Structure 1
Amino acid sequence: MKQESSMSAGVTLQPQGSPILLVEPDPESRNSLLQILAGDGYPVETAETVAQLFDRNRWSDYFLIILEHDLPDGSIEEVLPRLKQLAPSAELLVITSRTRIENMILAFRTGVADYFVKPIDPDLFRSSIKRILQNQSVSSELLQTQAELKAIVETALEAVITINRSGLIQSFNPAAEKMFGYRAHEIINQNVSVLTPDAIRAVHDRYLTRYLETGQASIIGSRRELMARRRDGSLFPIEISVTDLPQFGLFAGIIGDISERKQAEQKQADLTRAVAVAAQQERRQLADILHDHLQQVLVGVRIHLDIAKNDTTDEFIRQTLTRADELLNQGIEITRSLTAELNPVVLHEEGLVTALEWLSHNMQERYNLNVTLDLDRQAEPQHDTIKVALYECIRELLFNVVKHSETTEARVCMSLLPENKIEIVVSDQGVGFDTEQLDHQISDASGIGLSNIEFRLSLINGKFRLESTRGQGTVARIIASLTPIENAALSGEF
């Protein structure tokens, strides 16, 4: 007889209103079991034969059917399959006078919940029924939870898709149907890679296999922005969150169409880029005014001062004119320097490498900063917007070295990377700083700061990383695309 442990302390189950069906031809055994069941408050219906057993209509009423193994008008092998069909939600408990182990094994193989050999121990019998009742309660709650979850998924505004360990789609809610253009019955059991661009489709299964073998995931457990593919072949941006459900052998993905958000972000980026370009044009115009007009006027004034100085015989007037000439010369130098900073002509005419060589000389002359250059001319940007943005970022970083590093040495390296990208590294061996205090410690000479560098780089598909440790210097690393952003792919380069 199967030995059942007693229920855990504190668990109290009340007999449910649905009756138990007891099928027992032996009067003594039947009465004994009725006393146990009635004493515990279970409603019981009885039958003595197979004919009486099946002479009823409402099979859904029973949560438990207790069945004698040997009935006078039929075998249990014939009865059990029919009972399973008529009362699929009822548990089956077999009682018998036989002690043959093969009967017990056969019963359990056919889905019997428990098996008792007479005489039946009342305590073990009660414990078994309580366990069955508890399991049915848990199953009922689970079914209800599953039904509620399904209702939530079916009415969710976001697409919800589940796939198995082989990457085959197992469920596809109405929002997913609307988003991707497939009906659920068309897409279920297809590989989920059918919803991805061709470039990702080729490696999708490899990512899944790697996760299952190593546990290393690039998307599971986080929110990611990706490109997806509709039934008509069109691509669109999505935000996806994937959860591993190992207990069910599934992955669940919640997907949102972010096309409108991306369009709004693109419009904002285009507007920002247009403002930045307009500002650059204004700076070039101001530089042209300084160079073509103000400097010419100042040079003309200086010529006239020189004539007046040579024509006068009054020593006091000569000294005054000489002092005015010196001040005027300083003003000319300031306007030339300002013109070069606003719009270095050499940058537009000769390129970034030559402009950085000029900048290196200028930093030495004005700030006593010795800048070592290691520049790969093959990495020379051709697009004006890219040249200007990179030049201004490098200049900002060198200003930071002058102001904060407490060193007179800096290094600028420029190299070509694969996929038509450029890397620029500005480094020093100065005092360094705590990167957690960036906002408080770092600002450029004009007070604009590192946020301006990141802004400029965002206009050309660039990224910026700053590394520093107190006493060990600073390394600023820029990586940008040499392809103008208006020609870059929708999915981006980084």
Structure 2
Amino acid sequence: MADLAAPAIVAQVFDAVPLATIIIDQQGIIQAFSKRAEQMFGYSAADIVGKNIAVLTPPHVAAHHDSYLANHARTGERRIIGANRIEMARHHAGHNFPVELNVSPLNLGDRAGYVGFLRPVGGSDLQQREARSMLAELAQASRVSAMGALATAIAHELNQPLTNIANFTQGLSNLVSKQDEFKGRDEVLRILGNCSSQAVRAGQLLHRLRDFVKGGQPVTEPSRVSELVRDAAALAMINGYKRTIHMAHDIPADLPMVDVDRLQAQQVLFNLLRNAFEAVDAEHGGRHEIFISARDTGDGFVQINVEDEGPGIAQEIADSLFESFVTTKGGGMGVGLAICKQIVESYGGRIGVEQSSNLHGAAFHFTLPIVPGPTGAGD
């Protein structure tokens, strides 16, 4: 009977697993690398075994990966252990791409380790199911927010004409009331009174609609900026941009956590990233750079920046860019940035755009509130 523990048989089983499989020790050093992992990352097992797993992650993750492993070994806190999640990985050729990842603890005999199972997001329908579900959730949130922004804009635009109608009708009513010989005066005054009261009523309904759209507090929770950026970037890059866009990050490890509704914050980042992708995609040829950074502003907020190397924003529309129905796209509706502004300002934050000093395109920036108290420390 064959010894099922024989190294040759174990190696065959390891390479037969239909997912990219990577084994690391507690220090993050790669111990085994399956054939599917070779195909996914472009490294041979001979080249990668013995290196730190951080080489397979984007630079902003690689800089802190060892500290994540050390924190898990010290505290047992599970950030990615035991649950399927979408992460960004880095190919040998230098581009980032989203993967579905599941990590489990592993006993390596005399020491602890981990085994990771990965598959690319964007292959079969089954592999894309979770990503499509998340994109559908964001799309639904975008539609709801767009309708809210539309309702607010309509309420604002119609309020003044309705006020004028009520005032003019009341003025005309006053003039008619002074004409004693005006035939049918009482009936005209009744009709004018109805016109005025209905205009006032319509204005009050619009005020209530605007207050309803603007009102209501989001469900907030402490969130790590690095995770918000990671999740939004993974979703934004799914639809074909990973081969033409290189995304770099500068998210400090000690950045305070922010107190936001995660889906709303991701919606803002998602919108800004897709705008940036479309801006650089319009600049023909080659690969393009997107740079995401974050910093503590020192006044209770974290500022997140999204910079691109596209054509930038013309100064004449920069100040009005976040208003409803203002757009730089030929087929755009001009509500995406208005949605971003509405979300950011609901947290007391600010949003704006300027020229990027790094990439010379547009540099969008917005702020989110830091979690008050000790919970806010550390990203």
TM-score range, shorter chain: 0.3 to 0.5
Between structures 1 and 2, the one with greater helix share = 1
Return the TM-score normalized by structure 2.
Answer: 0.48
Return the TM-score normalized by structure 1.
Answer: 0.38
Work out which of the two has the higher radius of gyration on C-alpha atoms and give 1 or 2.
1
